[in-house]
Structure 1
Amino acid sequence: MRTPFTFMVGLLVWWFVGGTTVQAIGWTPGWTKHPATGGRVVSAAECAQARELGDGIETLETARAAIRAWETIAAAQPDDPEAWIELASLHLLEGAAFRHRAKDRLKCYIAGLQACERAMATNPDFLKRIRQGQTVWDATPALGAREMGAMHFWATGVFYIFRDCLGLFGRIVNVRLMERAKTMLERMDAVDPQWEESTSTFSWGIYYLAMPSSRGGDMVRARECFDRAVALGEHRTLPRWGRGKYFYVAVRETTAARADLSAVAGRALDELGGNRSWNRYFQAEALRLLAE
């Protein structure tokens, strides 16, 4: 069993000691920040153009162009959860792939969380619970299949904040955020555990790897989740990329890590499921790590 000291050392190794934030992380809820009513009909051509921009991201500038396109659509159709989910995904991608300072990444990740919450708020039952005083995580029983992407990216945003934006003590102060992400994963599994080739299984691996054993962390279960996610995610780069970059590095299995990263780098984009720009980022990151 891991001791608190071992957990702290593990955090330093696994989460890279680059974060600088120590204070408790908070943000304005997404349903209060974004517009409640739209003013025009969005054409099919405009949606197609936004999707094309989202699939073609290779630089910060192209990421920002895609975000602006989806912001326009979301403002015009604020009751469309898919527009907000697209925005959430793009904000997280901007932070992970194209921002390098902790404070810049935090801004992107919080914008992603807010877009997720705005997507959730298109569900009347969820919004009713929120207006009655429940928190996002307390209101998750109201969320269903149409909000799966919002739940996934909300949990992912929390994981990215921990990895990229917090120093050691900041992670200790904000450990409850991880427990709230767990609530999202539990709801995802209750609604559809096979969603997107069982993507939540990978997220569970991240959770068990990051948490101390006293708060639910478990390296054996983490390995099981990563291995299962790779087996189930045949058309995904995320499971193998994440296992190679995070888990195998944490347990010092360098040969296995390089094998995973090489497999990710060698996939053809056209044969992959999921977002093309995320896949492009995973491959570029795999090549970077292999070159180190």
Structure 2
Amino acid sequence: MKGLKPVLLLIGVMLVGSGCASWSHGWDMKPYKASGKRDLDEVKEYAERLEQAAVTRPQVQNLIKQLKYIVGAEPDNFDATVKLSQAWIVKAIGHPRDTGEQGDSLRRAITLAERAMSLNPDFLAAVRAVPKGKVSDAVSTLDASYAPAVATWSLATMLYFEESLSEVLKITNSEVLDDVQVALSWMEEKAPDYNGHVVLALKGMAAAVRSGADMVCVSANFDAAVQASPDSMLNLWLRSKYLYRNFGDKVSERTDLKAIRDLKVEHSPGFTPLNRMIRLMAEKKYKH
């Protein structure tokens, strides 16, 4: 009987941990309502100023508030919807109070990125035509102008998978990464140069977070991303965290953190608040 206890415990853990990685899909999302009567142009100008400075938790939360108002006033505003998704990612990686809040922020980011894709009527029709439709069922309907939404969705989804799911849930929800892989293949075809060739770093991340990943096998895409865009803080950060840190290469991790620290935020491609947060995290990590 004693020998059965570890087995029963393992079964219990798996039953408790069983389930699926889920979020409210963007194509089912009800549009925000802009509360209060504010001058929309002034809100947009304020949001732009915040975008250039936001780094603390209150600043990032304020940016989210302003972008949410813009999206509420203009439900079809693609750029604002994508930026709102990205702002939730910034909050998730830089200012989570706990893993629960981090997961909630990332789910919001995923939903909003899907909402941005769903502004394309062909995408919306395609994803709704399939029972339990996924991004991979409809991404082929998009053109390159939707790369910001697809890249943001891919990043948020993989961050959620790696940072918010238990090891058991990662095993039982590996199809999430299959969905991401289809989106990244679309990016390689439609927008390979977008945001400092970020698709290469995202492909590296997709391989690195899979169960049984091997450092040698997953390093090529990370290295190609950094070589193609050495001024990309996001590419460097993804390599430092999901290649070098995951596989215990502290020397190479510190080299990438130093490279991030030495870059100027305004010269790095991508969402400025995300770059600023990446640099702040790199500075803190490099000190230790």
Higher relative contact order (CA 8 A, sep 6+): 1
Asked if residue 66 in structure 1 is aligned to residue 75 in structure 2, the reply is no
Distance in 2 between the 1:28 and 1:282 partners?
27
Asked if residue 192 in structure 1 is aligned to residue 188 in structure 2, the reply is no
Asked if residue 78 in structure 1 is aligned to residue 68 in structure 2, the reply is no
On the 8 A contact 2:34/2:69 being kept in 1, the answer is no
1:13-24 equivalent positions in 2, closer than 5 A: 23-24=19-20
Distance in 2 between the 1:53 and 1:110 partners?
23
Using the TM superposition, give the Cα deviation of residue 22 of structure 1 relative to its aligned residue in structure 2, in angstroms: 5.4
CA RMSD of aligned residues (A): 2.4
1:253-272 equivalent positions in 2, closer than 5 A: 253-272=249-268
* Counterpart in the other structure of 1:173: 172
Seen in structure 2, the aligned counterparts of structure 1 residues 42 and 139 have a Cα distance that, compared at 3 Å, is: farther
Distance in 1 between the 2:259 and 2:34 partners?
44
* Counterpart in the other structure of 1:115: 112
* Counterpart in the other structure of 1:132: 129
On the 8 A contact 2:258/2:282 being kept in 1, the answer is yes
Using the TM superposition, give the Cα deviation of residue 42 of structure 1 relative to its aligned residue in structure 2, in angstroms: 7.3
State the Cα deviation string for residues 223-243 of structure 1 (Å, max 9, x = none): 111111111113211112222
1:91-240 equivalent positions in 2, closer than 5 A: 91-133=88-130, 134-212=133-211, 217=213, 219-240=215-236
Query: How high is the TM-score relative to the length of structure 1?
Result: 0.85
State the Cα deviation string for residues 210-234 of structure 1 (Å, max 9, x = none): 1236xxx554342111111111113
Using the TM superposition, give the Cα deviation of residue 278 of structure 1 relative to its aligned residue in structure 2, in angstroms: 1.2
Using the TM superposition, give the Cα deviation of residue 46 of structure 1 relative to its aligned residue in structure 2, in angstroms: 2.9
Distance in 1 between the 2:17 and 2:88 partners?
20
Seen in structure 2, the aligned counterparts of structure 1 residues 228 and 84 have a Cα distance that, compared at 3 Å, is: same
Query: What SS does the aligned partner of 2:31 have?
Result: coil
Greater shift after overlay, 93-102 or 40-49?
40-49
Is there any run of 5+ residues in structure 2 with no aligned partner, and where? 1-15
Seen in structure 2, the aligned counterparts of structure 1 residues 27 and 252 have a Cα distance that, compared at 3 Å, is: closer
Seen in structure 2, the aligned counterparts of structure 1 residues 131 and 38 have a Cα distance that, compared at 3 Å, is: farther
Amino acid at match of 1:79: D
State the Cα deviation string for residues 153-172 of structure 1 (Å, max 9, x = none): 11111111122212211211
Using the TM superposition, give the Cα deviation of residue 57 of structure 1 relative to its aligned residue in structure 2, in angstroms: 1.4
* Counterpart in the other structure of 2:245: 249
Using the TM superposition, give the Cα deviation of residue 48 of structure 1 relative to its aligned residue in structure 2, in angstroms: 2.5
Using the TM superposition, give the Cα deviation of residue 185 of structure 1 relative to its aligned residue in structure 2, in angstroms: 0.6
State the Cα deviation string for residues 39-66 of structure 1 (Å, max 9, x = none): 9997444323212212321211111111
Amino acid at match of 2:26: G
Distance in 1 between the 2:39 and 2:25 partners?
26
On the 8 A contact 1:261/1:290 being kept in 2, the answer is yes
Distance in 2 between the 1:270 and 1:125 partners?
35
Distance in 2 between the 1:218 and 1:244 partners?
15
Distance in 1 between the 2:40 and 2:183 partners?
33
On the 8 A contact 1:37/1:77 being kept in 2, the answer is no
Using the TM superposition, give the Cα deviation of residue 137 of structure 1 relative to its aligned residue in structure 2, in angstroms: 1.6
Seen in structure 2, the aligned counterparts of structure 1 residues 145 and 175 have a Cα distance that, compared at 3 Å, is: same
Q: Whose radius of gyration is greater, 1 or 2?
A: 2
